[in-house]
Structure 1
């Protein structure tokens, strides 16, 4: 179409770190850029326009191919934008140290939301940002200790006990399996189990695995208490990137008690694989 009959292109424009948008029309990329800089009181030199959705820079050649009413972002010298990726990054940064305003805004959105999927996303967001991860003692986070014996005064102390109990439970299952081991392998099986018992007793049943206050090499979580799934025992990582922090709230603590950090659902499955190997002596 001849430029004589063209209408000016229309856009919705905003500056980086600003939620204010305004409508702007122009016959060229340069005209829209100048109008935007004037509106936001930004220098024209070094500034440029890009598409909000993917960060593609708007140039003269691309100008007329962009649909009307597309959202543009005005960037000054040194600023970058990767589209929705940048938005997600900013959102994650807000979650790292959530403030009351974020929680209040999410609560308001949830109260008015009708779509089930958006309700689920908002509810999960609130669940995450409302966690009291930093708190450690019963006095600092009483709800976390609901249902636990009064002797547990700290989160780390309880989770250390929980880990020891879980290891002891696994060990009892291993012991009970001796009755189904063939006669020819039973003696070797018992010898190995005895070695395991002594090693675990000496290591205090590896209770430090769940204790975020333990030395880095002795725990399976971060210093904040985050556990990341280690994937199936025969793989290096977990493709699903499962993670959980039982230090956050009571619900996470209870859910963590059902977690298997290596995808093994039944320890007997591993035992059924190991028993045939007893023909080889282990020292």
Structure 2
């Protein structure tokens, strides 16, 4: 008996079956896909090859995809259909099926009969097939932790640390620029910034954090949030740094981009605000702290969406000061 994956021509439902012969494929397809009389059904491969005898059917690899046609239905294979059908293996929990697909890709790459663009797509597909993203602990996926301190035991530990390191870098940059501002204003804003870091804890990059506290899915997928002046990334850049050492390193090139710019606006404007503070008021440390390391002013962006030109976005002048 062989496992197959069957679908109707409209593709609305796909199911897995196990069959010993063509007759059983028809019977189970009629029942599971509600296609009418089994004897009227035609069985094809997705490339439009008709299957007419048991010998050919049983020579197919396990988990082959079959299309079931009713009388008068037609099926025309096209490249896009086959492409999306191939992508379905990424959802398969069958290690055997994934290994077969990996071997097929390796043979194609070794044969050197694909062009450069096809090679890039196949290599990326192969990497997704054999992704180690589901593994979390160092002992399960030691290659992912290459070059990292032994104090890190899980991927989430590393990603939290990486997030906090970025935010602390922004705080250090601000602290250095504000070193000539005396207390109490500088002290108050630094206390507020440190309280944010303690509360936030690097959860933005931690896939185990609650949904509202992270930038990624629970599987570890991050999606670019687009340029500073765009509501979303039009190219839908995505990456899963939990998948491999290479993806983790590549993710380090993604940026937390300040919409109201840190260097051009937030840091110098705080200094100006302190020097020009009206009597009876003080600088709003919460407002400036949130601009520096708060989620409302930061967008996670892929390198090509990191616009380094002047953003031309100013501060909300009503938020700069508050009463003592």
CA RMSD of aligned residues (A): 3.6
Question: 1:90: how far off?
Answer: 1.8
Number of corresponding residues = 218
TM-score, scaled relative to structure 2: 0.57
Question: For residue 197 of structure 2, what is the aligned residue in structure 1?
Answer: 201
- Is 1:107 the counterpart of 2:135? The answer is no
TM-score, scaled relative to structure 1: 0.64
3-state SS, counterpart of residue 161 of structure 1 = helix
State the alpha-carbon separation in 2 of the partners of residues 194 and 91 from structure 1: 53
Question: For residue 125 of structure 1, what is the aligned residue in structure 2?
Answer: 125
Alignment gaps of 5+ in structure 1: 1-13, 23-34, 54-83
Question: 1:257: how far off?
Answer: 1.3
Question: For residue 174 of structure 2, what is the aligned residue in structure 1?
Answer: 174
Change (3 A) 1:169 1:133: same
State the alpha-carbon separation in 1 of the partners of residues 161 and 148 from structure 2: 12
State the alpha-carbon separation in 1 of the partners of residues 77 and 154 from structure 2: 47
Question: For residue 231 of structure 1, what is the aligned residue in structure 2?
Answer: 226
Question: For residue 82 of structure 2, what is the aligned residue in structure 1?
Answer: 87
Change (3 A) 1:103 1:44: closer
CA contact (8 A) 2:48 2:77 kept: no
Question: 1:170: how far off?
Answer: 1.6
Question: For residue 277 of structure 1, what is the aligned residue in structure 2?
Answer: 315
CA contact (8 A) 2:102 2:126 kept: yes
Deviations 1:95-115, CA, capped at 9 Å, x for gaps: 233611111111111111242
Rg: which structure is higher?
A: 1
State the alpha-carbon separation in 2 of the partners of residues 113 and 263 from structure 1: 45
State the alpha-carbon separation in 1 of the partners of residues 264 and 90 from structure 2: 39
Question: For residue 155 of structure 1, what is the aligned residue in structure 2?
Answer: 155
Question: For residue 21 of structure 1, what is the aligned residue in structure 2?
Answer: 49
Question: For residue 77 of structure 2, what is the aligned residue in structure 1?
Answer: 52
